[in-house]
Copies of this chain bind each other. A is one copy, B any other.
Amino acid sequence: MKIITLTTDFKNLYPASMKAVILDMCEDPTFIDLTHDIEQGDILSAAFALYTTTHFFPSGTIHLAVVDPGVGTSRKAIIVRTANHYFVGPDNGLLIPAAQRFGDIEVFEIEEKAMLGKVSNTFHGRDIFAPTAGLLASGHEAEDIGQPLETFEELSFGEVNAAVNNLYGKVLYIDSFGNVITNIPAKILEAFARPTEKLLVHGNVASYSPTYGKVQKNELLVLTGSHGFLEIAVNGGNAAQRLDIAGHPEIRIEK
């Protein structure tokens, strides 16, 4: 069983072309779609999706991720190798936080000449990244496909500041329920607030609660999300809409 995950901002159709190319190269892969609903070009959200999901997969999984506003420009195409997983995608920081969660990483620049067919300017998912995943899935080594790369694009989840009465951080991801997930680690939240304490999120009162269903319906809450970060939610509702949050703004939690 060779597992290949896919993460893109393609929504539909284009992921199938990538799978077709891989099916033509290797025997019976198992495809798992992480998400194809990343906002167009939103590298940070995709990096977070990878960061919070890929470590649940078995050893040997190949993670193919394409959020690639620089396709066809001089940005490189890379393989990132960790102890037991591979990541394949553009060199724009997308793959790095998830890969580094596994420990030490090695980065390789994919050589276009390792690709069999003509490479388009606009769909490297199909023409470079999928064939690379197909080569890895059929037993090739990263060294066969690319050259070691010393310098690559990093991506930071941003600074967190904790004072006695304030937490400052940044929105990393808004999930499909409208839950707002920040870069503030659970431990910092748990040291900051007492159970059921009232907090202020951008001036709105929110209860600190262990889970959604322990506050009133439609009430704003702050909790430790399942990803291990401070999350802002509305029980039965949509916190991002309630607070008019989109993208990756700074976030402030006050007592």
Contact = CB atoms under 8 A, between A and B. Distances in A.
Nearest to A19: B32
Interface in A1-42: 1, 3, 5, 9-14, 16-17, 19-21, 23-24, 27-28, 30-37, 40-41
Contacts of A30: 23, 28
Contact of A58 (B1, B9, B24, B214): B24
Contacts of A147: none
Interface in A53-70: 53-54, 56-58, 69-70
A205 to B, nearest CB: 21
Interface in A84-141: 120-123, 126-127
Interface stretch (A148-156, A163-171, A189-197, A218-226): A218-226
Interface residues of A, number: 60
B3 A69 contact: no
Most B CB contacts (10 A, CB to CB) among A16, A28, A71 go to A16
A16 B12 contact: no
Most B CB contacts (10 A, CB to CB) among A1, A19, A56 go to A56
A37 B24 contact: no
A1 B73 CA distance: 37
A161 interface: no
Contacts of A213: 69-73
Contacts of A56: 17, 20-21, 24, 126
B177 A121 contact: no
Nearest to A40: B177
A79 interface: no
CB-based closest 3 A-B pairs: A72-B211, A11-B176, A123-B226
19 contacts: A1-B23, A1-B28, A11-B37, A12-B36, A12-B37, A13-B35, A13-B175, A17-B56, A19-B32, A24-B58, A28-B30, A40-B236, A73-B214, A121-B223, A122-B212, A122-B223, A122-B226, A122-B231, A123-B226
Interface of A: 1, 3, 5, 9-14, 16-17, 19-21, 23-24, 27-28, 30-37, 40-41, 49, 52-54, 56-58, 69-73, 120-123, 126-127, 175-177, 210-214, 223-226, 231, 236
Given A69-B236, A73-B211, 9 more contacts: A1-B27, A17-B56, A20-B58, A21-B56, A23-B58, A24-B57, A24-B58, A56-B126, A73-B213
